């Protein structure tokens, strides 16, 4: 089962035996414990729900839900799978499930940028500053015609930017430390330091 939850530590560099420097993001990943197994027959789809970290002051509902796995998790997430492969409640796994060179997908909540204009949020161009240009060169231009006299949903406008789920696909595993529960992937992953990251084998749902 190549899927883990982890905490983003930050970026660094590793130097290979050939002397090539590789930028990697280090993630404190796992171990995770299975708290529920969902099947097509009972739930309509196959998924494995896992718990990560040590939580405090769990609600009665959550405490009762995770009691069969004997854990008090900080985070609970589920991974959809094609084949359950005999996974059962209470099973645990860690970074040892992955190998160097594996291609993985990393999912996290991107950094919040607050309220942003269209230039920053949607990469719009600014108005010209000379030859009859309007005073504010960063404002939004035309947002619609005379008909149908309304703004369509989805129109790219100023608004809240960031703080949304982002998945970066096809990242290569470049570093693994089983003793320290560390995994390093080549490139950047979404979210701030200490943010929750979901890692799963590339191509999985």
Along the chain (205 residues), what's the average pLDDT of each consecutive run of 10 residues?
A: 90 89 92 91 91 89 91 90 85 90 94 95 89 80 82 92 94 92 93 93 64
122 and 42 in a common domain: no
CATH number at residue 58: 2.40.30.10
- Domain hosting 79: range is 3-112+164-201
pLDDT of residue 163: 94
Separation of CA 94 from chain center: 18
pLDDT of residue 203: 57
76 and 37 in a common domain: yes
191 and 173 in a common domain: yes
124 and 154 in a common domain: yes
Residue 162: count other Cβ atoms within 10 Å of its Cβ: 14
Encoding tokens for residue 111? 């950094």
**Residues in the chain, total:** 205
Please identify which residue in the block is written with the tokens 């050939």. 18
39 and 14 in a common domain: yes
Residue 25: count other Cβ atoms within 10 Å of its Cβ: 24
Separation of CA 160 from chain center: 19
- In b/e form, how buried is each residue of 86-107, taking b as 16+ CB within 10 angstroms? ebeeeeebebebbeeebebbbb
CA distance 199 to 18: 28
127 and 108 in a common domain: no
151 and 83 in a common domain: no
CA distance 64 to 31: 21
As for how many domains the chain has, the answer is 2
What's the Rg (C-alpha) of the chain?
Answer: 22
pLDDT of residue 205: 47
pLDDT of residue 152: 87
138 and 38 in a common domain: no
pLDDT of residue 127: 86
- Between strands 103-109 and 196-201, the pairing is antiparallel
170 and 142 in a common domain: no
Could you give the count of Cα atoms lying within 13 Å of 120 in the half-sphere of its Cβ? 11
60 and 151 in a common domain: no
Q: Is 65 helix (H, G, I), strand (E, B) or coil?
A: helix
77 and 98 in a common domain: yes
107 and 21 in a common domain: yes
């Amino acid at each position: 089962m190549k899927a883990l939850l982890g905490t983003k530590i930050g970026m660094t560099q590793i130097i290979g035996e050939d002397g090539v420097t590789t930028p990697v993001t280090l993630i404190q990943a796992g171990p995770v414990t299975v708290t529920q197994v969902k099947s097509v027959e009972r739930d309509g789809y196959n998924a494995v729900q896992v718990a990560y970290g040590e939580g405090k002051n769990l609600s009665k509902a959550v405490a009762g839900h995770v009691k069969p796995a004997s854990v008090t998790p900080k985070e609970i997430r589920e991974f959809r799978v094609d084949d359950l492969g005999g996974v059962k409640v209470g099973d645990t796994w860690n970074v040892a499930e992955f190998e160097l060179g594996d291609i993985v997908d990393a999912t996290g909540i991107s950094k919040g940028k607050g309220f942003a204009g269209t230039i920053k949020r949607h990469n719009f161009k600014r108005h010209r500053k000379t030859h009859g240009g309007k005073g504010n060169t960063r404002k939004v231009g035309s947002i619609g015609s005379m008909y149908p006299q309304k703004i369509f949903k989805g129109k790219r406008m100023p608004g809240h930017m960031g703080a949304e789920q982002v998945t970066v696909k096809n990242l290569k595993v470049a570093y693994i430390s089983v003793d320290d529960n560390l995994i390093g992937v080549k490139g950047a992953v979404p979210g701030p330091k200490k943010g929750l990251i979901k890692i799963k084998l590339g191509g999985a749902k």
